[in-house]
Copies of this chain bind each other. A is one copy, B any other.
């Protein structure tokens, strides 16, 4: 860490800073430049990042040198993490396609969609039993019953299921019934929930928050890993910007960036990112081209009657076509699908 001093910092202020660093068990190295004096701090940067050093008189700014995370970093673990979910590998050469309805609605519908996405080549079934909705008057999901429908669909198709948890009190339920626990964008910084899923080894799909930086995203993954759970997937699902043509702005540069900084698999959700069914196909293809390890897609047999996010769901026939298109691109970038 580098501490930049104000041009008018007094000797007494500098001494005070050096003393304070010593109290924290750190050594400091003064370096006087033409216009600024700086203090290089030797020791664990991560301790310092929690100290309010800019509150010290005479300090102009503080520049961290090290990333604030550890377990998630590529520096810590060179090889990419491959997560095994009931035999499906996520993070390897083959892309994982997770598809299904936004919300679980009826048993037959859920099972029907599961059969269709499996036939088209999906390897994981997605479906929301507990739905985080912006309005209290929107459909809130079937809850426990919805999870049971997913289990029935898994039984019939063999597809492992991913579903979103909303409340720490439901952890037992999800450990029992889901194959991957999803932490949604709105809960990316619900730290109690992160700690809870971190305490087990059940795979977690962590979605990037609506306005989370890459740094905050990785720190949330670090929360989970620091509790012991190594099976974390990162999911880019669009960030909030000023543009109103789509629900969010899909940030595909996040894919190579996350893969460079971290060893964790990166999944992309073009459905929630755009909120528009006709953008799902081009953005899925782009995500594959940019190096994603998997794609999470909303598929519904009757979008116009879907109880949640029908405007961004594609029909099974459209999904089948998209699978073929994505497969060609996967091959073009040296991957399988």
Contact = CB atoms under 8 A, between A and B. Distances in A.
A242 B245 CA distance: 12
Interface in A286-329: 286-291, 303-307, 309-311, 313, 325, 328-329
Interface stretch (A88-96, A104-112, A172-180, A216-224): A216-224
A109 B227 CA distance: 31
A250 to B, nearest CB: 6
A211 B189 contact: no
A84 interface: no
Interface string A256-281: 11001000000000000110111100
B135 A222 contact: yes
Q: How many copies does the complex hold?
A: 4
A158 interface: no
A220 to B, nearest CB: 8
A68 to B, nearest CB: 6
A65 B36 contact: yes
Contacts of A226: 136-137
A239 B246 contact: no
B249 A257 contact: no
Nearest to A241: B241
A214 B190 contact: no
Contact of A134 (B63, B216, B274, B313): B216
A139 to B, nearest CB: 7
Nearest to A214: B245
A213 interface: yes
Interface in A186-234: 186-187, 189-192, 195, 209-211, 213-216, 219, 222-223, 226-227
A15 interface: no
B134 A189 contact: yes
A269 B233 CA distance: 30
A167 B257 CA distance: 32
Contact of A55 (B134, B136, B273, B310): B310
Interface stretch (A26-34, A113-121, A144-152): A26-34
Given A219-B134, A239-B249, A33 B65 contact: yes
Interface in A150-187: 166-169, 186-187
23 contacts: A2-B63, A2-B65, A20-B304, A31-B40, A33-B40, A34-B44, A40-B40, A49-B135, A49-B137, A50-B138, A54-B276, A55-B306, A56-B304, A136-B223, A167-B192, A168-B168, A213-B245, A241-B242, A243-B254, A250-B252, A253-B283, A285-B289, A289-B329
Q: Which A-B residue pairs are the 8 nearest by beta carbons? A: A52-B310, A211-B211, A289-B289, A328-B332, A186-B189, A286-B290, A286-B286, A167-B192
Interface of A: 2, 4, 7, 20, 29, 31, 33-36, 38, 40, 42-46, 49-56, 63, 65-66, 68-69, 75, 132-139, 166-169, 186-187, 189-192, 195, 209-211, 213-216, 219, 222-223, 226-227, 239-246, 249-257, 260, 273-274, 276-279, 282-283, 285-291, 303-307, 309-311, 313, 325, 328-329, 331-333
Given A38-B40, A50-B307, A167-B168, 5 more contacts: A34-B43, A134-B189, A214-B243, A239-B243, A249-B253
